[in-house]
Every structure is written in structure tokens, then in C-alpha cells.
Amino acid sequence: MTSPYLDVAELLLKLKNCVVLTGAGISAESGIPTFRSKDGLWEKYDPMVYASIEVFRTNPSKYWQIRGDFIRNYDSYEPNAAHGALVELENLGIVRLVITQNIDGLHRKAGSRRVVEIHGSLREIICQRCDRTYLAPNIPGGDPPHCECGGVLKPNTVLFGEQLPTEALEAAIRESSRCRVMLVIGTSSVVYPAAHLPVVAKQHGAKIVEINIERTIPDADFIILDKAASAMTRLIEAIETLQRTSTE
Ligand code: OAD
């Protein structure tokens, strides 16, 4: 059997025009918990209570109570080798865009230039009364933070029951329909519309490559079952090997 790494490396070098879709799994090795894995956030807390916009409007303390279990200090996390590999692939002219469900900002921190954050970002919190926006690297645990006007602050992220940011979603669908390869890294592929993006890509003729410790896309063309950081490191090595042999 040939190595999936060499097969995928060959595919990326040949087709280029790759769009990446990432989920919580790519940040797991940066120390940020996933949602649905064993010990994940939604294994401990019901998201329909703790992360729903309906509940947030009447009882924002539910969200703020558990927020510290996820990310308390936005600035304290570092990108890992998988985020770094996506920057290298962008520099090589292979990756055109990273679409992420993650709200941790680690793709931008790693240096990816073209990133669409379809679930928003924890970078900012917004007043629910006057719309004033604050930069929010540190989040207090427990009680909801308030704006100077007295309004409750909400992170600039999508809670269950909320619409995704229109511009980001439109860009994600458009670019998914235009790519020739989609790399899907570390997502359980159960939350829509994100989970629909590989379907859009495949319908338009793209090859789908899944990198995950479990298989979530049954009809992916290639599957690499490994943790994101080691998988992406090996993928970059395979690309470098092919580039070397083609110039020898
Ligand atoms: P999930 O927690 O649902 O899925 C994480 C995926 O990452 C699983 O398929 C794991 O197998 C995989 N995984 C875990 N560790 C990994 C590693 N080291 N390397 C590679 N893969 C690994 O996270 P998402 O799919 O991102 O929504 O969840 C989607 C959305 O549900 C989130 O954006 C969030 C959540 O509720 C909102 O906040 C709106």
C-alpha cells in the first residue's frame, strides 16, 4: 500500500487550488478542548443550555459560567505544527483559503493570511445594548461582564440559534465550490452549514482529504487517521520529498 501522505502530497502539488476547512481538532494540540470528543465541552455541558442565544438573552450567566472551561485568556494559546503547516501550504501557493469553525484566532496567529472565521471570533466582545465592541483577551469567569452603559457583553461568536455572519458564509460557500481539493481537518462534521462545505466542494468536482483521528466523511477520497500536528508535519515532508525528487 502506498503512503497516504505521498498520495495527498502528489494531489496537492498537481491540483493546487486547495481550500481548507478546520474544526476544534486542529487546536486540540494547542491545549484547547474540543466539543464532542471524550472529555469535550459538550460532553459535560448541554450546548442548548450553555451556548444557545435564546438562553443567553434571558440568562447570560449560563454561558459565562462555563466559558472559563473553554478559553479564559484568548492570548495565552499558541498555534501548533498543524496551523504552521497551513501557512507553509499558503506560501507554496497550494492553500488558497482557510475556512475555520474555530473561534480561537490561532490560524491568524500562526500567520495564515486568508482566513474566514464562519463562527466568529473570541477576539471581541460586543455590548448587547449599545453595540460597543471591546477587545477581549481576558475573560472573567462566572458573572457576565458588562459594558460601560450597563448592557451585557456577548462574545462576537455564533451561539446555537444564531445566523452565521453572512459575508463569511457566502465566501465559504463560494470558495468551496471553486476549489479542486478540500482538506478537512479535525471536525466532527455534524454542525451545519460547515458540514455542508465538503459536500459543495465534492459536487463541484473537488477531491476531499480528511485528516482526523476518526473518520467523519464516509465518501472522502483520502483519509489520514492521525493527530493534526503530526499528520500535517508528515504531509509537508512528503511535499518536500516530491519537490526534491522532481528537481533531481
Ligand atoms: P468537535 O468537538 O465536534 O469535533 C472535533 C473533531 O476533532 C473530532 O472529529 C475529533 O475526532 C477530532 N480531533 C480531536 N483531536 C484531534 C487531533 N489532535 N487531531 C485531529 N483531529 C482531532 O468540533 P467541531 O467539529 O469543530 O460551534 O465542532 C463544530 C462546532 O460545534 C464548533 O465550531 C462549535 C461547536 O458547538 C459553535 O461554537 C457555533
Q: What is the pLDDT of residues 124-156, one digit of tens each?
A: 999 999 999 998 767 666 789 999 999 999 999
Is 24 close to ligand 1, i.e. is its CB under 6 Å away? yes
Is 23 close to ligand 1, i.e. is its CB under 6 Å away? yes
Condensed to tens digits (0 to 9), the pLDDT of residues 187-198 reads 999 999 999 999
Distance 130 CA to ligand 1 centre (A): 33
Beta strands of 128-180 (E only): which ranges?
Answer: 133-135, 153-157
pTM above 0.75, yes or no: yes
Asked whether the predicted pLDDT for residue 7 surpasses 50, the reply is: yes
Distance 243 CA to ligand 1 centre (A): 32
Query: Taking residues 12-21, what's their average pLDDT?
Result: 97
DSSP state of 144: P
Pair 139, 67: CB distance under 8 Å: yes
Atom of ligand 1 nearest to the CA of 228: 19
Query: 133 is written with which cell numbers?
Result: 465592541
**Mapping DSSP to helix (H, G, I), strand (E, B) and coil, where does residue 236 land?**
helix
18-22 and 95-100 strand pairing: parallel
Distance 25 CA to ligand 1 centre (A): 5
119 is catalytic: yes
Residue type present at position 1: M
Is 60 close to ligand 1, i.e. is its CB under 6 Å away? no
